[in-house]
Amino acid sequence: MWKCTAAANNCISTCCPLNKPNYQQQNEAVGKAAFFDSKAPALDHIRGLGPKRREALSQQGITSLYDLLDCLPRGYLNARQPQPISTLRTGEACVEGQVVSAPSLQYYAGRSIVRARVRDASGSLSLAWFNQPWMARQVKAGSTLILYGLVQRRGEALTLTNPKMLKERGIIPQYRPLPGLPGKVFAGFITQALALVDPAEAETLPHSFRQWHGLLGRAQAWLQAHQPEDMDQLAAAQRRLGFENLLLYQLAIRLAGPADQAGPRITVAGSFAQEFWGQLPFSPTGAQRDTLNRVLQDLRGPQAMRRLVQGDVGSGKTAVAFGAALAAIRGDYQCALMAPTELLARQHYSSATQLLAPFGITCGLLLGGLRAAQRREALDSIQSGAWQLIIGTHALISKDVVYHKLGLAITDEQHRFGVRQRQTLAERGDDLTPHLLALSATPIPRSLALVLYGDLRVSVMDEMPPGRTPVRTRVVPPQRRDDLYQYIREKAQQGEQSYLVCPLVEDSGDAQEEKTSALSLYRQLRDGPLKGIGMALTWGSQEEAEKNKALEDFYAGRAQVLVSTTVVEVGMDVPNATTMVVEDAEYFGLAQLHQLRGRVGRGSKESWCFLLGEPNERLNILTQTNDGFVIAQKDLELRGPGEFLGTRQHGRALGGFGITDVRLLEETASCLEELLNQPSQRPLYDYLARLARERYADALEQTGLH
Ligand code: ADP
Ligand code: MG
């Protein structure tokens, strides 16, 4: 479908389908860089770029002018129009006012607070800077300031918290801090790069294609994205850059895992599903039944299955995966199940040995940290086929693992893996491509699934096993923190357990950060409100032995309270835990909060989830629904797709491309469909495929979703 949803100021007359261009004749209009394989210009002409800074950029994958320009601001402060103080509400705002009197500096529990007050014609407002004692010197009584910050309600009055002082009004780009490069220096590099870039050289999309989709030229888009004249120009720039990158990213994913490969044809008896479900301790939900049937149908077919099963936390995806595994094994193939954490792999291993015991299959566990002899033994069992079901972590895709006859590759919590990892596991068959089944508990809207999982067919499990009591959720303002800890204390005394999740492991040392760290919260609670209660502490990179001890203490009920980072997001299954507290909930995505909430409500007792933070529209969504899909859709609308897509290592990968409009996802997906299906578009398709491979070679190694 060809539809122009371009911003109005951008919409060109080619929206009429009659004017649809023929791309066969358009090599002329694409930049030389693209067609003649000449490299993107190097950073040589940037002044002030010594070896150290060059290294800092290169660490971020920035080695050319174009890479640099692709580092879009992570956000913009819209400080064109300061708001009158009397009209302020909570949320981000820009104000312009005169400082009433000299600021005060106080210390409180080891933290500094600088307070001041500004006034404009409509009223006055208090200002507070935490952990920035130097602000006491910078803020001068009587001076007029343009300030941008977060308006919060503290008691009765409003306070502007940690405001930035701006030099002038305007749309101010905010760059992600890069290690070793002060923000100001980086902004200076960008300005130079904008001046150095040659628009004709840099162009990647044919002129007529751009016209057709209402897209700015690449260089102009860079200019408006880094130094926007107004919000419309900014939107047009984001559209252009987002369009190109989403299109190429989808293309790269499809190229990484091509459909229509011949797969092992597995014979599955007609009575298989009934027999399988009959042996489990519960009867399946309708969704589980349907999904397994779809999967079995795929396994019987001549092509390798490529299927993603999406189902909310607790919807029972594991049983479906085991059903598929058993079918493959009965058909004389091996099955590998890969989980993102050791914790989860172990858990799957123990459920597999229980649930699949009646069927008499052999199952083994392969983890990263095995001793050499153990590892050798495991590898032998895999190679000889002695293990039929192999469960493990990333260890499953390491080079020395040779499968006997891999027929089915399953990845659990797919959103924690990169496209390439999933693909690598699926390439471990010998001559035939094994079937691939990916499971994901992070429900994502269809539009996003098109991009992230464009190479997979999606099944949705939208039904929960019966007998679950939905978790109740409240947003708790930080002032009521003590009441909350008191509640946890009482619960612990009644024998119920609680999770406390923090955004950081340790205090970051960054003055701007007010985020709570697991370490400091643990110490503070242990010596204060939760004194005498059994507590455990864990985080992702904790030493394996310590981590296991902490988790075992919590599983066994020796610890009543588990303080952690988001490592507990997947795999923890402690039915006795009835309270989930998320500190600084504002810093998390809604989907992630929902996932964390799924850790409680697993037993018969009523469970609660408390989100510490100022109540706002976003957090309130979680109090209103337990439906992961609804939450994901709202989150997508509120945060914009760019925040969902991206890679951890390189700040500039997809997430940095200013993809702010949800409609862009669908638009680029249908554009790609069109390119694929129309023979006349072949030259353009081939050219874009080359670009896609180049640009996203490393992005595919990384996790796609945040
Ligand atoms: P997820 O989809 O989050 O991976 P799991 O597969 O871990 O969910 O299932 C969560 C829990 O629900 C497990 O303890 C599992 O045994 C149980 N379960 C799964 N399916 C059913 C069902 N149909 N009826 C009752 N309990 C079920
Ligand atoms: Mg699961």
The pLDDT score that the predictor gives to residue 98 is 96
Report residue 461: phi and psi, to 5°: -100, 105
Residues 6+ apart with CB under 8 A from 87: 122
Residues 6+ apart with CB under 8 A from 558: 534
CATH number reported for the structural domain that contains residue 300 in this entry: 3.40.50.300
User: What local confidence, expressed as pLDDT, does residue 140 receive?
Assistant: 93
List the one residue out of 516, 514, 477, 479 whose CA is nearest residue 500: 516
Closest alpha carbon to 594 in 315, 386, 288, 308: 315
Distances (CA, A) of 22 to 17, 34, 209, 681: 12, 19, 9, 8
Please, what's the b/e burial string for 181-194 (b: 16 or more CB within 10 A of its CB; e: otherwise)?
A: beeeebbebbebbb
Identity of residue 404: H
Q: Do 372 and 505 share a structural domain? A: no
Same domain for 393 and 305? yes
The domain of 528 spans 472-625
List average pLDDT for each run of 10 residues in the chain, which is 706 residues long: 33 36 45 50 90 89 89 85 92 93 88 93 94 92 93 86 89 84 88 94 93 95 94 91 89 77 91 96 96 96 91 90 97 94 88 91 92 94 96 90 93 76 71 87 74 81 84 93 95 96 75 72 94 93 86 93 86 88 90 90 90 90 90 78 50 52 82 89 91 75 42
Give the number of whichever ligand sits closest to the CA of residue 343: 2
Residue with tokens 């507070």: 128
Q: What's the rounded Cα separation, in Å, for the pair 111 and 125? A: 22
Same domain as 492, residue 417: no
71 falls within a domain: no
Q: Which of 282, 288, 412 to mutate to test the pocket of ligand 1 (most atoms within 8 A of CB)?
A: 282
Confidence (pLDDT) at 698: 62
Q: Flag whether 343 is in a domain.
A: yes
Ligand 1 centroid, distance to 476 Cα (angstroms)? 30
- If 0-12 CB within 10 Å is exposed, 13-18 middle and 19+ buried, where does residue 241 land? buried
Residue 483 and residue 402 share a domain:
no
Taking the C-alpha atoms of residue 254 and residue 673, their distance in angstroms, rounded to an integer, is 11
| Residue ending a domain, choose from 111, 146, 168 | 168
Residue nearest to atom 1 of ligand 1 (CA): 314
- State the Cα–Cα distance between residues 629 and 445, nearest whole angstrom: 7
Query: Measured in angstroms, how far is the CA atom of residue 356 from the centroid of ligand 1?
Result: 15
Among the candidates 610, 625, 640, a domain finishes at 625
Are residues 515 and 508 in contact, defined by beta-carbon separation less than 8 angstroms? yes
Residue 276 has, within 13 A of its CA and on its CB side, a CA count of 25
CA of 629 to the centre of ligand 2 (A): 16
Quick one: which atom of ligand 1 is closest to the CA of 285? 23
pLDDT at res. 36 = 39
Greatest Cα-to-Cα distance within the chain, rounded to the nearest angstrom: 84
Among 289, 291, 318, 572, which residue has the most ligand 1 atoms within 8 Å of its CB, making it the best to mutate? 318
Residue located nearest, by CA, to atom 20 of ligand 1: 316
CA distance 133 to 149: 17
User: Would you state the pLDDT for residue 657?
Assistant: 56
The pLDDT of residue 513: 53
Cα(391) to ligand 1 centroid in Å equals 18
Q: What pLDDT is recorded for position 509?
A: 56
Q: Which residues approach ligand 1 with their CB closer than 6 A?
A: 282, 284-285, 288, 311, 313-319, 441, 465
Q: Please tell me whether residues 301 and 449 are part of one structural domain.
A: yes
Q: Distance from the CA of 163 to the center of ligand 1, in angstroms?
A: 47
Ligand 2 centre distance from Cα of residue 464 (Å): 13
Q: Does residue 432 sit in the same domain as residue 493?
A: no
Alpha helical stretches, state H, 217-267? 218-226, 231-256
Q: Is residue 16 part of a domain?
A: no
For the chain, the helix, strand and coil percentages under 3-state DSSP, each to the nearest 5: 45, 20, 35
Which of the listed residues 598, 625, 652 is the one where a domain comes to its end? 625
